[in-house]
Chain A
Amino acid sequence: MKAAVVVFPGSNCDRDLAVAFEQAGFDVSMVWHKDSQLPEGVDIVGVPGGFSYGDYLRCGAIAAQSPICKAVVDHAERGGYALGVCNGFQILTETGVLPGALLRNAGLKYICKTVDLAVATSDSAFTQGYNAGDVIGVPIAHHDGNYYADDATVQALKDQDRIAFTYVDNPNGSIDDIAGILSENRRVLGMMPHPERAADEGHGGTDGTAMFRALSGLLTDA
């Protein structure tokens, strides 16, 4: 299984994400934002957290126009798997791979703490290692994590069972407590919480490990 983790100027969770993939058995390569191609045979692309390009203009807006993002969008459109965490989720919405947008937190504060997430569906390669309704502890660390989409989009997400995780106690004003969503083909997951920061005993929790383990067992070539 091959994973690629994209590195932008300002990414700061790229190595954590790479380690989480490695511990689940992936062969991981790091990909620079100026590269225009993903390595041959990549099964999944990780778009990490951080503050790509200093969050200039809007979070993720500049990164979404970078050469590597064109390759990530092509990969997703071919049916490839991708995981966007935090800034990576913001970037995937800016590219249009995932619907909606992330607004400033309703309380205007940067929030860094472990929160309870409810697994909303186990029907995806990412969430198959959980049961729907499970509550897991995963850290959040964001200023712009307030998920927004128009009513029709939210309804479609619900009707198609594409909400992957919800907050048990909504920290940021996200519509319908949404913490993570899946693409229509269920092969792209974007989420504000950081599963890669709950993937080692040293992190204080390992509730994110099941996601990476499930991915390593399930992926097919894109």
Chain B
Amino acid sequence: MKARVHVMLKNGVLDPQGEAVLHALGALGFDKVEGVRQGKVIDLELAEGATEADVTEMCEKLLANTVIESYSVEIQ
């Protein structure tokens, strides 16, 4: 089983890297970009028997810092 975890800064938490990418895109002439948020994708290879609940626990304990980040889990 495989799982893909998306980790993003929460709405309302300033994302300076996203802002920098937004400005760089603007400098390249991509003037229709109104916002950029940058996150990360973590792919997990899981043994038989692992559940989505296990992955959620991994997110809560390590993969995301829920003070500043939100996450979503996609089981593949």
Taking Cβ atoms with an 8 Å cutoff, the residues of A that contact B are 57-58, 61, 65, 93-94, 99-101, 103-108, 146, 148-150, 173
Pick from A61, A107, A108, A148: contact of B13, CB below 8 A: A148
Pick from B17, B62, B68: contact of A148, CB below 8 A: B68
Taking Cβ atoms with an 8 Å cutoff, the residues of B that contact A are 9, 13-14, 16-17, 20, 62-63, 65, 67-68
Tell whether, in the assembled complex, residue B16 and residue A101 are in contact, meaning their CB atoms are under 8 Å apart.
no
Tell whether, in the assembled complex, residue B14 and residue A173 are in contact, meaning their CB atoms are under 8 Å apart.
yes
The 9 closest A-B pairs by CB, nearest first: A101-B67, A101-B68, A108-B16, A104-B16, A106-B16, A101-B65, A108-B20, A58-B65, A148-B68
Pick from A58, A65, A93, A105: contact of B16, CB below 8 A: A105
Q: How close is B75's CB to chain A, nearest CB, in angstroms? A: 21
Nearest chain-B residue to A58 (Cβ)?
A: B65
Tell whether, in the assembled complex, residue A103 and residue B68 are in contact, meaning their CB atoms are under 8 Å apart.
yes
Pick from A57, A94, A100, A108: contact of B17, CB below 8 A: A108
A45 vs B62: C-alpha distance in the bound complex, in angstroms? 23
Pick from A57, A149, A150: contact of B62, CB below 8 A: A57
| Given known A-B contacts A61-B62, A65-B62, A100 and B67 have beta carbons under 8 A apart | yes
